[in-house]
Amino acid sequence: MEFAEDCIIDDHVSPLEPLSCDLVRQQSFTSLQESQQSQEAQQTPPPFKHPCSHHSCTIAAIRGLRNGLYFGGKVRFAHTLVMNILFRKNSGGLKSRLRLALLLSWQHGRNLGGFVLIYKVVHCSLLQTFKRKHPIFAFIAGAVSAMIIWRDPSKVNKQICFYLLSRIIEGILIKLQKIGLLPQWDGFGLISVLCWASIMFLFESDQTVLQGSIQRNMTHIYKESDLQTGSGLLQLMSW
């Protein structure tokens, strides 16, 4: 590049045909603007991405409450009604059984829906505070919600808790297999052996430590079948 009369002249252009100074200044100003914009873009932090997986934390929490109420009530109502009809002959007429089923359904749905609501509020608060995702936030939110909802040792809460406990143990074992701390093998056979051996040991040694319904069911299956009335085939037909 050569300089002549305060203007820049390209090497490929004849010195006898100098470029217009206005054009050169305009090009220089444009290049300066582009350089400044590039520097500002590098200095400006990227826009913050919403850490939650939904657009509105409030709507998500309310919808979670609704879904928990519906699912918990639906599952508990059918289960309670069938169990009362089949196994609780002394629980009153149909009206009282329906009332009990509705009461337990409300408790199940209310607790599950309330847990979802509190969990989402706490979880979203942690995500918004730290502006990133981490599995420990789910653990903390679950612990806080459980302290508020599930600490009451009611029959409904115990059933849900022990159901989850079996699923948690299974999930932990699968997780340990995935990360290589346990060999890849199907351990259900061993678990079933330990489970049934343990329940029979407890039932025969001290059945009072078992839950009431399982005591009654096992007594009907294992103890009442020892009673014999009549003779011959009548023994098989008598209850």
Q: Is the pTM of this model over 0.75?
A: no
Among 125, 121, 4, 14, CA closest to 59: 121
What's the confidence (pLDDT) of residue 1?
Answer: 45
Map out the domains of the chain as residue ranges: 2-43, 57-185, 186-223
> What mean pLDDT is reported for the chain?
81
Instruction: Identify the weakest region by mean pLDDT among 73-87, 179-193, 219-233.
Output: 219-233
What's the confidence (pLDDT) of residue 233?
Answer: 62
Residue 79: burial class (beta carbons within 10 Å; 0-12, 13-18, 19+): middle
Residue 14: burial class (beta carbons within 10 Å; 0-12, 13-18, 19+): exposed
